[in-house]
């Protein structure tokens, strides 16, 4: 545990990628494979099943620290993190720990699920008593399933690649899919490159950066392929040796959740991997994402649900063709293969992502006219106009991909861009504030905003992000000096400050007091120039809701 706690500390202590990489490499080089496997497991955000509840942990920590419950809660509010609060309230010890990480995980942590309360308590008290503050913190993070430290998937991959002396893409590929954190797995992760590919293993997803510069900066429009940006579940669809796997971008195997898509794989040749989007789809149109969410949560899909929210796999790329990795081939070639493949399959749950034909490179439109109305654009301006239709079409904007681009690994700049539509905005008044957690503990950073309705402010959105540190300090001071009433950790404040909120979608809702719900609200800027009376009204918000069945059934 000692080495792993030191790794955590080193990663936590710096914001510099280079130093994080150095810390990771040094950890992997020093650790036994079984430890390294668990470290990879946790660093990538995976977690074992846990059986410890907040109240139990709190009660045992209070006993061990000899403090009353209410004082623990005060501490928690100041710290904003359960694992850290427990680590800090317990009296400081010298560490007596000599056990490797896998021992802590395999014989302690994994045993917790099988023990009764008193057994769990015994394991925890012993652990706390033998660890120093930092080790205790990391241990608490592991047992509460909240282990997170600022390293990206990509950085862990790079570190392992460096340790194994392999291209990062090979390691990334080996890290995909199902694996168990064992010494054997770690060995296979860093062993020299071989031809074998685990049967179910997907490729690392290639991700696009948001386009921030003017679109003209991308140069000649003829060098680009434009597609709609769909709001579904990004997934890879794999058919190898007669078996079918559907992987979400969260690396979850979702084959069984979407049986109708899995069935359509029968019409695909063996050795095929497609990249695309799982979308709720009816009568040739996409349904709102919220419809898909109704299905995602269910273990057993009723026939009624399957009929109410049918899904399709909308393919936009091919990564493996007749058993061969074709990611390095240019996009226009992959696209041609993809079109050929989808047309040959000719199955209604597997459709081709329409391409917006750009410029004069492609004279004819190649998308399937039955699937989606097609469009053509001869210049960036024309594309920009098409993008304005996004909302009406139920998409988030456009994707721009260089025709000569390979299918890369992770989020890289330059080849693929997402060009989302501008968000909706509203001016709303700050009415409640709450202290944040983690990095924002003990500062009022979580805000509720209201708009006017019949002379009163009704809450319509909560937002946590968008202000500068200096602005957060100003709001924090305002909240501290002007709290009207307290509801638990929430402070009501006088309606003085107006903020412009940006959001992605809006619909009617029966679950919200205001009757409307907004999607992804965040603070665009502080409108110090506006008085609260100038904020928007609920009636204006309602007018933003698209007057279509789609808009009405949202959220």
Partner 1 sequence: MALLELTEAGLYCPAGDFHIDPWQPTPRAVITHAHADHARPGCGSYLAAAPGILILRVRLGPDASIQSLPYGETVALDRVRLSLHPAGHILGSAQVRLESDGEVWVVSGDYKRQHDATCSAFEPVRCHTFVTESTFGLPIYRWPNPDEVFSDINSWWRDNQEAGRTSILLGYTLGKAQRLLAGVDASLGPIYVHGAVERINEAYRQAGVSLPSTPIASDQPRRTPWDKALIVAPPSVVGSPWLRKFGDLSMAMASGWMQIRGTRRRQAVDRGFVLSDHADWPGLLQTIHETGAERVLVTHGYSAALARYLGGQGLSAEVLPTRFEGERLETSRDTVEE
Binding site for partner 1 (CB under 8 A): 12-15, 65, 67-68, 70-71, 74-75, 78-81, 84-85, 88-89, 91-92, 137, 437-443, 469-470, 473, 480
Please give the Cα distance from 27 to 24 (Å, whole number).
Answer: 5
- The CB-of-73 to partner 1 minimum distance in angstroms stands at 10
Query: In 10 A of CB 27, how many CB atoms?
Result: 23
Residue 467: what are its φ and ψ, rounded to 5°? -90, 155
Radius of gyration of the chain (CA): 26
Please give the Cα distance from 527 to 471 (Å, whole number).
Answer: 12
Residues composing the chain: 555
Whose Cβ is closer to partner 1: residue 11's or residue 235's? 11
Whose Cβ is closer to partner 1: residue 412's or residue 474's? 474
Strands 355-358 and 376-377 come out as parallel
SS3 479: helix
Whose Cβ is closer to partner 1: residue 8's or residue 203's? 8
Question: Tokens standing for 431?
Answer: 């009415």
- The CB-of-40 to partner 1 minimum distance in angstroms stands at 23
Residue of 170, 145, 186, 176 whose CA lies nearest to 38: 186
Whose Cβ is closer to partner 1: residue 226's or residue 472's? 472
Strands 410-411 and 206-207 come out as parallel
Whose Cβ is closer to partner 1: residue 132's or residue 197's? 132
Please give the Cα distance from 268 to 368 (Å, whole number).
Answer: 18
Question: Scanning the structure block, which residue is given the tokens 């990095």?
Answer: 439
- The CB-of-200 to partner 1 minimum distance in angstroms stands at 38
- The CB-of-437 to partner 1 minimum distance in angstroms stands at 8
Please give the Cα distance from 112 to 153 (Å, whole number).
Answer: 28
Whose Cβ is closer to partner 1: residue 10's or residue 545's? 10
Asked if 282 is an active-site residue, the reply is: no
Determine which one of 229, 355, 401, 550 is catalytic: 229
Please give the Cα distance from 8 to 26 (Å, whole number).
Answer: 12
Residue 365: what are its φ and ψ, rounded to 5°? -85, 130
In order of 334, 410, 474, 492, the CA distances from 444 in angstroms are 50, 34, 10, 12
- The CB-of-69 to partner 1 minimum distance in angstroms stands at 11
- The CB-of-439 to partner 1 minimum distance in angstroms stands at 5
Active site residues: 229
């Amino acid at each position: 545990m000692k080495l792993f706690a030191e790794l955590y500390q080193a990663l936590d202590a710096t914001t510099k990628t280079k130093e994080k990489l150095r810390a990771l490499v040094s950890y992997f080089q020093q650790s036994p494979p079984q430890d390294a496997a668990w470290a990879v497991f946790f660093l990538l955000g995976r977690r074992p099943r846990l059986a410890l509840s907040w109240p139990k942990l709190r009660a045992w920590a209070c006993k061990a620290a000899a403090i009353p419950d209410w004082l623990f809660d005060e501490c928690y509010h100041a710290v904003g993190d359960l694992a850290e609060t427990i680590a800090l309230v317990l009296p400081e010890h010298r560490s007596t720990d000599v056990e490797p990480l896998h021992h802590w995980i395999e014989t302690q942590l994994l045993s917790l699920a099988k023990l009764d309360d008193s057994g769990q308590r015994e394991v925890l008290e012993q652990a706390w008593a033998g660890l120093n503050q930092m080790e205790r913190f990391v241990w608490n993070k592991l047992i509460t399933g909240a282990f997170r430290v600022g390293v990206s998937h990509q950085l862990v991959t790079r570190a392992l690649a460096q340790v194994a002396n392999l291209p990062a893409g090979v390691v990334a590929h080996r890290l995909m899919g199902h694996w168990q954190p064992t010494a054997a797995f770690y060995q296979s992760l860093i062993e020299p490159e071989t031809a074998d590919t685990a049967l179910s293993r997907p490729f690392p997803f290639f991700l696009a950066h948001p386009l921030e510069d003017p679109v003209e900066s991308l140069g000649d429009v003829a060098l680009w392929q434009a597609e709609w940006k769909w709001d579904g579940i990004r997934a890879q669809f794999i058919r190898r040796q007669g078996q079918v796997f559907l992987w979400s971008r969260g690396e979850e195997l979702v084959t069984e959740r979407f049986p109708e898509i899995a069935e359509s794989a029968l019409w695909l040749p063996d050795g095929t991997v497609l990249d695309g989007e799982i979308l709720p789809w009816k009568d040739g149109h996409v349904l709102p994402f919220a419809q898909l969410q109704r299905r995602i949560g269910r273990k057993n899909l009723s026939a009624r649900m399957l009929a109410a929210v049918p899904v399709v796999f909308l393919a936009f790329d091919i990564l493996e063709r007749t058993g061969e990795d074709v990611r390095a081939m240019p996009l226009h070639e992959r696209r041609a293969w993809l079109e050929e493949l989808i047309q040959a399959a000719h199955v209604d749950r597997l459709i081709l992502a329409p391409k917006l034909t750009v410029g004069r490179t492609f004279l004819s439109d190649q998308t399937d006219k039955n699937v989606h109305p097609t469009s053509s654009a001869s210049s960036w301006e024309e594309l920009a106009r098409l993008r304005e239709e996004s909302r009406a079409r139920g998409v988030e904007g456009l994707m721009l991909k260089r025709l000569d681009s390979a299918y890369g690994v992770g989020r890289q700049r330059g080849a693929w861009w997402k060009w989302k539509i501008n968000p909706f905005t509203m001016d709303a008044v700050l009415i409640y504030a709450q202290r944040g957690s983690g990095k924002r503990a003990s500062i009022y950073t979580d805000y509720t905003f209201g708009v006017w309705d019949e002379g009163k402010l009704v809450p319509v959105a909560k937002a946590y992000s968008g202000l500068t540190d200096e602005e957060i300090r100003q709001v924090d001071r305002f909240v501290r000096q002007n709290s009207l009433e307290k509801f638990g950790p929430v402070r009501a404040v006088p309606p003085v400050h107006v903020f412009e909120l940006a959001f992605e979608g809006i619909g009617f809702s029966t679950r919200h007091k205001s009757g409307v719900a907004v999607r992804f609200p965040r603070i665009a800027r502080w409108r110090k120039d506006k008085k609260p009376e100038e904020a928007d009204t609920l009636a204006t918000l309602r007018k933003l809701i698209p007057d279509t069945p789609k808009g009405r059934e949202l959220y």
